[in-house]
Structure formats: structure tokens, C-alpha cells
Amino acid sequence: MDIKLRSGTPADAEICGRICYNAFKTISEAHGFAPDFPTSEVAISLLTRMLGNPKFYSVVAEIDGRIVGSNFLDERNTIAGVGPITVDPTVQNRAIGRHLMDAVHERAAERNFAGVRLIQAGFHTRSLSLYAKLGYEVREHLACMQGKPLGISIEGHVVRAATEADLEDCNRMCREVHGHDRSGELQDAIARGSATVVEHDGRITGYGTIIGFFGHAVGETNKDVKALIGAAKEFAGPGLLLPTRNGELFRWCLSKGLRVTQPMTLMSRGLYNEPAGAFLPSILY
């Protein structure tokens, strides 16, 4: 089997998006979970944005001229984000995924990223094994949580929309928690109008790009992240990603009626700092 790899282009979005939808749907349904993408259109739309954004590196795998998979590297931040990686279910488990991962690792090395990260579906034995073999460490067990918006405020913690003027304070917050900022991602979220900040004692003590699957949040304390979650109008996509080691925050979400929809795993390769504060990771975008 001759696997050819090439860069992706916006013209690949439709085929890669369908493969992405089918790959996730097949593995999720085989385990009794809801698919990450509700329709193939949602997957096509995400990949259209990524393939058209120069800050995302993309790689497409072909066999005999037929597209069989794709992978991405989010290059907006100090630590690069890997995925979504998907392989056509009819040709999985034949090393195409390994080649697609090698391609983004080569790219990350060329671009001098100190580390890469990804989030893995916790029930998926194949991706867990592949990533571990490729040198990824398990960093956090996550609960993907979904439910009705809470409409709760936390005393003394005011949540408002983020603006460009908040960027440096938010980046400082992120550096305090993660050791690096996620400025590129935050700038995109501010431009989209989805980012929020929380203020306490007259200063910014947390922010979120989106409270949900495709956004991250950081806070000095659990109260800051609770304020962001409490104010969210929805938990976008399949749900927010909550590190279950943070038992206090996890139990608070459960006590407010949020339900765990699936287990996930945060994995990293290269530089990783143990977080010092409260945080919600993002699946990617």
C-alpha cells in the first residue's frame, strides 16, 4: 500500500470533512457515545476554516490518488495543537494515522515548537496506543460535560465580554497557569466575539475563549472558572472539557446538573508545565 502525503488545500475540505465525520461517528457509535460532529456539514465547515487559515498546517493522505485521511497542526500558540486526525474507517489500522502524526511532528520540529498537545477520546484504545507509542504522555483525564446553561453568578466575580484591551492581562493569566500564553487563539476569539473575562477585586482573574469543546479557559482559582461557566449562554459543541483531578470544580459542575457525556484524555509530547491554577482545555479550535 503506497501512502502519499501532501499539504491540504481548501478544495480538500469536503472529502476530508466527510472522512472526519465518518471516522468519529463510527468509533463513537461503536462504543455507544454520541458522535463529536452532529452532521458531516459541521465537520466540513470546521475543516474549511482550518484549511483556509494559514495558521493551521494541514496534511492529507492519499492511496492511489484517493484521499483517505487528514491531520492538522494549530500553529497559533507557543505550544502547537494536533488534530483533528482522521482516517477513512475502511483503511484504518494500516499505519496511515502514524504517517499523518509523523508529518505534523516533523512540521512542529521545523517550526521549533517546544511541545505539542492533543485531546483523545478516552474510550478509543487505538488512538491512545498510537499516541503513547509516539511519545505522548497522559497529562489529564477529562470529563466532557454538557447541560443547560447555569445562569449563575459567583459573588465578587463579574463576567463580561473580552476586548482587545484585555489581551495582555489574559495572556499574563495564561502564563501564570500554563507557563505560556495562547494569545493567537484568544485574539481569534475576541475578534469572533466569543471570549469572556472575569474580574475580581478590580482586576482580570480569568478568561475563556469559548466555554465549550472548541475553547479554553483559565482562572486564578476555581471561583473564576465557576463564574465563567455560570455565565456561559451555552456549552458549545459536545460540551466543556473538565480536568477531573480538579475534584472540587468537577463536583460543583455535577451539583449544578451538568452531565458527563464522555471521558477524554489530554496528552502532550515535549515541553509541558503542570498547570498552576484552574483551567478548561480546548479540543482545538
Give me the residues that bind ligand COA (CB under 6 A), please.
23-24, 27, 83-87, 92-98, 120-121, 124-127, 129-130, 133
> Three cell numbers at 215?
475553547
- Closer to ligand COA by Cβ: residue 126 or 160: 126
In one letter, which amino acid is 197? V
Q: How far is the CB of 61 from ligand COA (least distance, A)?
A: 9
In angstroms, the CA 269 to CA 79 distance is: 10
247 and 241 Cβ atoms separated by less than 8 Å: no
- 3-state secondary structure at position 102: helix
In whole angstroms, the minimum distance from the beta carbon of 75 to ligand COA comes to 18
> Nearest approach, Cβ of 140 to ligand COA (angstroms)?
14
Q: Which of 284, 278, 65, 44 is nearest to 176 (CA)?
A: 278
Q: State the minimum distance, in angstroms, from the CB of residue 36 to ligand COA.
A: 9
Q: Report the residue number whose CB is nearest to ligand COA.
A: 97
Q: Which residue has the cell 502532550?
A: 268
Q: What does the alpha-carbon distance between residue 105 and residue 116 come to, in Å, rounded to a whole number?
A: 8
Of 95 and 271, CB closest to ligand COA: 95
Nearer to ligand COA, 7 or 129 (CB): 129
The minimum distance between CB 68 and ligand COA, in angstroms, equals: 9
Rounded-to-integer distance, Cα 23 and Cα 40, Å: 11
User: Please, which residue, 13 or 87, has the CB nearer to ligand COA?
Assistant: 87
* Closer CB to ligand COA, 28 or 146, in the complex: 28
